[in-house]
Structure 1
Amino acid sequence: MSSDLPSQPSRRNALKCLAFGGAGTLFVLSGGVLTPVQLALGASPEEMSGTPLFLQISDSHIGFNKEANPDVAGTLRQTIAYVNAMPVKPALTIHTGDITHLSKPAEFDLAAQLMSELKITELHTVPGEHDVTDGPGTEYFSRFGKASDNKGYYSFDHNGVHFVGLVNVMHFKPNGLGGLGDEQLEWLESDLKGRSSSTPIVVFAHMPMWTIYEPWGWGTGDAGQAMSYLKRFGSVTVLNGHIHQIVSKVEGNITFHTARSTAYPQPTAGNGPGPGPLVVPSDQLPKMLGVTSISVSQHPLKATLADTTLV
């Protein structure tokens, strides 16, 4: 699904089918290709096609208590229950931002308590704009700043994969687009230099790293420069949150994928007056908090998505 054809009816219909909240995405490494798999199927060993590599969770919004979902802690717990039921668990969890809703200490405390229930030892995060509502992100960085030396962006290697966490919620561009900034872009270029082009790369940030819908600020204004450093690599997976729905795109060897929220749905691009919590009848909400099965083929590189609800 490419966002480059906003008027194509089939794309709009597909987005409506795939738009709403979910429990998270599990990634496996099989034959050098990162493949997202359905968490519900991950509980069955015969459904796993490779070694579980990492789990992506996004937009937990702990502290949110409005009509769209008055129990965001409960839906995060449900996500954690899915993961803990898996017989073979990944070593890493990546949270792509908006851990909290208003970046209050009590919200971070509750989020930390909930995430500690995950039977996965290593947690990596990047901030969402809701995690840095005070501007400098004092509370976020006091909790999660060590890995990045309080810069927010950093990299690490695991199981032959190079992971790069980026921050695009501290320097906003016109129309509310995210921004990386010159300093971070220079760091990224330096970080990738000297690495073999056969190294699988995973980039994770909060806001989408391509422009999905500019009027709502769904994109990163200077992401093109970052992508230019990544084009030479044979396998690049770019993971984001922020829009609370799945939109995927493939450009050459780069696969872009935005994650569902564990908190509440948002409208699809351009539907309604703007982004924000989407209120649905309470008996319909569980049907919109689903998990996703995604397969990725290498030749040609292509993503196929299917949605499964939690009910």
Structure 2
Amino acid sequence: MESTVPNDALSATFQLSMKRRSFIKLAGLGGVVYASGLSGWAANASPVDDFFFVQLSDSHWGFEGAPNPDARGTLPKAVAAVNGLEKMPDFIVFTGDLTHTTDDPQERRKRMTEFKAVVADLKVKPVYFMPGEHDAGLDRGAAYQEFFGKTHYTFDHKGVHFIVLDNVSDPGASIGDEQLAWLAADLEKQTADAQIVVFTHRPLFDLYPQWDWATRDGAKALALLMPYKNVTVFYGHIHQENHHMTEHIAHHSAKSLIFPLPAPGSQPKRTPIAWDSAQPYRGLGFREVATVRKTMEYQITELPVQKS
């Protein structure tokens, strides 16, 4: 069963396809695999270049109450599920909102301390972090940096260049001129066909600005990325899957570990979807992202939160 995104706006060498491959059983629940075809991988890349990582997002540690009666349980369950994977990922990345917002600086640091203690049980290293607006919006990332370090940075892994962008420390939801200049300088070091993955918290495109599902100067970042043939963006913030193309740049959002949110503009307010006791943890989960260089594709596997 296959559905292909319309190719009208895409170059002849680039397509995004989504394939329902199989269901992965975790505590009786299913996760779906999607694959997005990316051109430009080295044709002679060896299988050893293949790798996968795990993306988790929006754990909102410190949140209590409806709609999640297991608010302090879903993150530990996700950690246990990752540790129980048959094959360990090369690394793990959290795409923001590690903790839930609070006006109390002392409570903010307490939540970050507790979050770090929970994720310390992850068997895989390294683990990469980035802030969400709940972590950094009230103090421009001051507490976050005490616990997790820089809010934007790069790293390289097996021929792929990873860029972590901060579009949350500015309370106006902007990346900012200074960071955009940093991004431009970093990209100048890359070749036109470099393999580039960008992690952000908010979407870089205007998904639904009325609900804060946008980055005010995201278009400037995309303009800097556009000359590069092989760019993929993974983000969080919207608490659901969403797949979008900006010309040849693919954007994939991740589910949350605390509660799902409604589809963009599907209802008047951005209120969380109610807990369904008949289907607990519905809409919550994390994902595997497999970089398959030999076949020139990414395989995105959505995994649910376990019941226990």
TM-score (norm 1): 0.74
The equivalent position to 1:231 in structure 2, one of 226, 229, 232, is: 226
| 2:235 is the alignment partner of 1:240 | yes
Deviation at 1:292, TM superposition (A): 5.9
Aligned partners of 2:85 and 2:79: how far apart in 1? 10
Match of 1:221 in 2: 216
| Alpha carbons of structure 1 residues 161 and 26: separation in structure 2 relative to 1, 3 Å | farther
Match of 2:90 in 1: 91
Structure 2 gaps of 5+ residues are 7-29, 42-46, 103-107
Q: Which amino acid aligns with 2:163?
A: V
Match of 2:192 in 1: 197
Give me the CA root mean square deviation: 3.6
| Alpha carbons of structure 1 residues 55 and 31: separation in structure 2 relative to 1, 3 Å | farther
| 2:124 is the alignment partner of 1:120 | yes
| Alpha carbons of structure 1 residues 28 and 156: separation in structure 2 relative to 1, 3 Å | farther
Deviation at 1:83, TM superposition (A): 1.4
Deviation at 1:24, TM superposition (A): 11
| Alpha carbons of structure 1 residues 62 and 291: separation in structure 2 relative to 1, 3 Å | closer
C-alpha contact (below 8 Å) 2:161/2:197 kept by paired residues: yes
Q: Which amino acid aligns with 1:105?
A: R
Deviation at 1:66, TM superposition (A): 1.4
Count matched residues: 267
Aligned partners of 2:87 and 2:300: how far apart in 1? 23
C-alpha contact (below 8 Å) 1:27/1:55 kept by paired residues: no
Q: Over residues 259-278 of structure 1, what are the superposed CA-to-partner deviations in whole Å (9 max), with x where a residue is unaligned? A: 10011111211233322433
| Alpha carbons of structure 1 residues 293 and 184: separation in structure 2 relative to 1, 3 Å | closer
Match of 1:16 in 2: none
1:202 counterpart SS class: strand
Q: Over residues 97-121 of structure 1, what are the superposed CA-to-partner deviations in whole Å (9 max), with x where a residue is unaligned? A: 0000026122111211111111111
Deviation at 1:30, TM superposition (A): 9.9
Match of 2:282 in 1: 287
1:73 counterpart SS class: coil
Aligned partners of 2:109 and 2:262: how far apart in 1? 29
Match of 2:166 in 1: 167
Match of 1:105 in 2: 109
2:245 counterpart SS class: strand
Aligned partners of 1:49 and 1:280: how far apart in 2? 42
| 2:137 is the alignment partner of 1:138 | no
C-alpha contact (below 8 Å) 2:239/2:261 kept by paired residues: yes
Match of 2:75 in 1: 76
Aligned partners of 1:72 and 1:295: how far apart in 2? 29
Q: Over residues 120-162 of structure 1, what are the superposed CA-to-partner deviations in whole Å (9 max), with x where a residue is unaligned? A: 11111211111025323322110112xx3xxx21112121111
C-alpha contact (below 8 Å) 2:255/2:283 kept by paired residues: no
| Alpha carbons of structure 1 residues 133 and 293: separation in structure 2 relative to 1, 3 Å | closer
C-alpha contact (below 8 Å) 2:99/2:112 kept by paired residues: yes
| 2:206 is the alignment partner of 1:211 | yes
Q: Which amino acid aligns with 2:246?
A: E
Deviation at 1:28, TM superposition (A): 11
TM-score (norm 2): 0.75
Structure 1 gaps of 5+ residues are 3-21, 34-47
